Chain A
C-alpha cells in the first residue's frame, strides 16, 4: 500500500504549490478580517421589515377599544382614500412620544386609525386624555392577531394603506418630527396610486 506524505499540506516540501498552500490560512483570515471591518463600520439594520408591503390588508373586524371611537375593520380601508394605520398601546412609552407627530399628521388631513395592542379600556382612556386622540377609529387587538397578520414586530409601527386597502409602506418605531413630511409624501403617493 502506498505511503503518502504525513503532513498533508504543509510539510517541508520545496514544491511551489505547497508553498502557496501555506499562505492560504493567512489569506482566508485577511478575507475574514475585511468582512468584519465592513460589518463593524456598516451596522446592520436590525428592523424586521414586513413582508406584507404591497399586499392587501388581511380580513379583520376589531371591536372598539375606546368608548368614544368606533372599532376597526378591513372595509374601512377600502373607501378610496389613503389612511394611516398606527399600531400602538397605552403601555408603550415611544407611543406617547410619537403622539404629537400623529396629531400633526391628523391635522394635515390624513385619517389615522389605531390598533391598540393588549390594552385595557381604562388605561387607554387615560393615555388618550394625556397624549391627545388623533384617531378616527381604534380597534382592540388583545391577541395580537391583526398585529401579526400585517407583519408588525412591535409597537409603535405605522402603515400607509392606500384607498383599496393595500399596504404601501411600513414605518418601524416611533414617528419623529422629521418623519412627518416623509409620511405625508407617502400618503400622497398612495392616493395617486389608487386613483390611477
Chain B
C-alpha cells in the first residue's frame, strides 16, 4: 500500500512539474501573463508531493517491506535502524529519488521565499527548474522505479555492503546531494536570467544565498567523505583522485568560482556573462559527475549502481540540459550588456584571477579524470593519479593562494599598491618580504628531503593564515558584519587545511609489522605493543579485535582496538582502523591477517597534523554558514523594516 501511494505521489509530482514548465513558458509571453500567478503554488505543491514520495520510500525501508524489490536488494531485517534509513539512498533508485526530491524542494523554497527578483525572471527560473526535474522524473518512472514490487515477496533482504554500513555514510551522501542538486537552482537562475536578458546586481543578490547554501553543503560533504574514506578503507590516505572524488571536487571548484564572481556582479555589476556561464557550469559538473559514476564508463572504487542503460539515459538528459543551456548562452550572452570596468589592481581583478585559477584547476581535474576514457578510445589503458594531479593542480593553486592572501585587502574598482593612504606605503615591502620568507622556508625544507609540493604548502600556509585574518585589522570586531567574518574564517580554513595536507605528505611515518602477542614496535614518536586478541560480536557482524597499547614519547599508555570485521548479510569483510588523535597528529592502526607462524600483520601510520585537513574543511564550511547567516539576517531585518514602514503608512493614511 505504501509503495503504491509513493508511486502515485511521484507521478503526480511529475505531472505538476510538466504543468510548471508549460505554465511558466506561457506566462513569459505577453498574452499569457495572467498565468504567472500559478507558477509559485504549483512549484510548492510539487515539492510537497515528492517529499511525500520520498517519505514513503523511507518508510518501506524502515519497516523492511520485503515485497518491494529495492528493499530486498539493499536491506536486511537485522540491520540497525539508522542503516535501514541510510539504505534508502545507498542505492541507485533511492538516490535518484533523493535527487529529484532535493531539486523539487529547492524549487518550492525559491517559489516560497524569493521576493527580490523581478517576476518574469523568477517565472523563467522556476520553469527551468521544472524542465530539469522533469527529465529526472521520467528517468525514475521509466528506467528506475524505486517502488517496484516483487511478484513473490522474498524471505529476507540481501543487505547493504558492509563498507556502506557506517555512520559517516548515513550523512555523507545526502549532504553532498544537497550541494550537487542545490546548484541546480543557480543553473535555473542563470537560464531564467538569460531568457529575460536581465543579468545584474539584483539577479546576483537573489542568486547568491542559493549558491552559498549549496556550496556549504558541498564543502562539508566532501570533507566528511574524505574522512570517511580515510578511516574505513584502511589505506591511510585521505584523497585518492578517484573519479568519484573528482566528480564531487569539480562542482565544488566551479561553485567556489561562482561564489566569488557573483559577489563581483552584486557589488560592482561586472562579470555578467562570466557569472552566468559559471552558474551553468557548476550544475553541469554535478550532472557530468553523476553520469560518470552511474554509467560505469570509468573504473572507480565507488562502483555502485553501474548500468550502461541508465548511463545512456543520463547522457541524454545531459545533452538536453547542458547542451540546451549552453546553446541559450551562446545565443543570448552576446546581448547581455557589458558590465562595469575596473582597474588592473583592484579587488575585482584579484577575484578574476582567482576565478581563472579555479577554472584552471577544474580543467586539470576534468582532463585527468577523462584522460583514461580518451586513451581507451585508442586502445591504450592508463590510470591517472597523484603524480599528475598534485603538481598540475598545484601549478594553479599556489598562485591562487598568493592572490587570495592579498585580494581581500584591495579596494573595489581601483587600488594603488603604494600611495598616500596611511599604512599602505609599506604594502609592497610587506608582500615581498612575506614571499621571500616563504621561498626561504621552502628551500630550507626541500634541503631536508621534503618534496617540493609539501614544502611549498608548509611555507605558504602560515603566511596565508595570517593574511586571511588581516581584513579584521582595525575593525571593531563586535560590529564587523557576519559575511566578513565568514570570508575570514573560510580563507583561514583553506590555510589550515593546506598545512594539514602538506604536513601529512611531508612527515608521515608508515610501519608494516608482523607482531606476535606481547611484541612492541617504534612508529615515529610512538611505541606500540600488541597485548592480545579477542573475538567480539556486533548486531550483524563478528570480529577479531586487537588490544594495542600505545605510548606517545613515553607518556601515558592509551589502549586502541582495531578490528577485522566479518559481515554475514551480505558476506563481506571490513577493517575498522583505530585512531588516536593528539593535538599534533593522529596515530592510525590497522589490523591485517594472521600469518602462518601465528603473528599478526599490522599497519601503523603516524600522521602529524593530519586532522587539520578536515578541521580546515569544516572551517571553510563554517565560514560559508556565517556569511549565509549574515545575509539572511540582513534580509529579514530589511523585510521587517519594510513591513513597519508599510504599516505606518497605512495607519497614517487612515
Listed in ascending order, the chain A residues whose CB lies under 8 Å from chain B are 1-13, 18-19, 22-23, 25-26, 29-30, 32-33, 35-40, 42-46, 142-143
Q: Is the CB of B338 within 8 A of A19?
A: no
Q: Is the CB of A6 within 8 A of B326?
A: no
Closest to A36 in B: B315
Q: Is the CB of B299 within 8 A of A6?
A: no
CA distance A81 to B208 in the complex (A): 74
B:297-355 near A, CB below 8 Å: 297-299, 308, 311-312, 315, 318-319, 322-323, 326-327, 329-330, 333-345, 348, 352
- With both chains docked as a complex, state the minimum distance between the C-beta of B594 and any C-beta of chain A, in angstroms: 11
Q: Does B291 lie at the interface of the complex (its beta carbon under 8 Å from any beta carbon of A)?
A: yes
Query: Which residues on the B side are within 8 Å of A44 (C-beta)?
Result: 297-299, 373, 376
Listed A/B pairs (28) with beta-carbon separation below 8 Å: A2-B343, A3-B343, A5-B338, A6-B338, A6-B341, A7-B271, A7-B273, A7-B274, A8-B274, A10-B277, A10-B333, A10-B336, A29-B322, A29-B326, A30-B323, A32-B370, A33-B315, A33-B323, A35-B370, A36-B291, A36-B315, A39-B297, A39-B376, A43-B297, A44-B297, A46-B299, A142-B596, A143-B595
Q: Knowing A26-B323, A33-B319 touch, does A7 contact B297 (C-beta < 8 A)?
A: no
Query: Which residues on the B side are within 8 Å of A5 (C-beta)?
Result: 338, 341
Q: Does B523 lie at the interface of the complex (its beta carbon under 8 Å from any beta carbon of A)?
A: no
Closest to A13 in B: B338
Query: Which residues on the B side are within 8 Å of A8 (C-beta)?
Result: 271, 274, 352
Q: Is the CB of B333 within 8 A of A35?
A: no
Closest to A1 in B: B343
3 A-B pairs with the lowest CB-CB distances in the bound complex, closest first: A10-B273, A6-B270, A39-B297
Closest to A33 in B: B319
- With both chains docked as a complex, state the minimum distance between the C-beta of B370 and any C-beta of chain A, in angstroms: 7
Listed in ascending order, the chain B residues whose CB lies under 8 Å from chain A are 270-274, 277, 280-281, 284, 288, 291, 295-299, 308, 311-312, 315, 318-319, 322-323, 326-327, 329-330, 333-345, 348, 352, 370, 373-374, 376-377, 381, 414, 595-596
CA distance A142 to B594 in the complex (A): 11
CA distance A151 to B271 in the complex (A): 54
Q: Is the CB of A39 within 8 A of B373?
A: yes
Query: Which residues on the A side are within 8 Å of B312 (C-beta)?
Result: 40
- With both chains docked as a complex, state the minimum distance between the C-beta of B163 and any C-beta of chain A, in angstroms: 19
Q: Is the CB of B344 within 8 A of A1?
A: yes
- With both chains docked as a complex, state the minimum distance between the C-beta of B291 and any C-beta of chain A, in angstroms: 7
- Kindly identify which residue among A4, A10, A26, A43 contacts B341, using a CB–CB cutoff of 8 Å: A4
Q: Is the CB of B339 within 8 A of A36?
A: no
Query: Which residues on the A side are within 8 Å of B374 (C-beta)?
Result: 35
Query: Which residues on the B side are within 8 Å of A38 (C-beta)?
Result: 377
- Kindly identify which residue among B271, B277, B297, B299 contacts A25, using a CB–CB cutoff of 8 Å: B277
Query: Which residues on the B side are within 8 Å of A22 (C-beta)?
Result: 329-330, 333-334
Q: Knowing A33-B318, A44-B299, A44-B376 touch, does A25 contact B338 (C-beta < 8 A)?
A: no
CA distance A13 to B291 in the complex (A): 36
Q: Knowing A1-B414, A32-B288, A44-B376 touch, does A26 contact B330 (C-beta < 8 A)?
A: yes
| Additional A-B contacts beyond A2-B344, A12-B335, A36-B373 (17; CB < 8 A) | A1-B343, A3-B343, A6-B272, A6-B339, A6-B342, A8-B352, A10-B333, A22-B330, A22-B333, A25-B281, A25-B326, A26-B327, A36-B318, A39-B297, A43-B296, A43-B297, A45-B381
Q: Knowing A35-B370, A35-B374, A40-B312 touch, does A7 contact B326 (C-beta < 8 A)?
A: no
Closest to B595 in A: A143
Closest to A10 in B: B273
Closest to B309 in A: A40
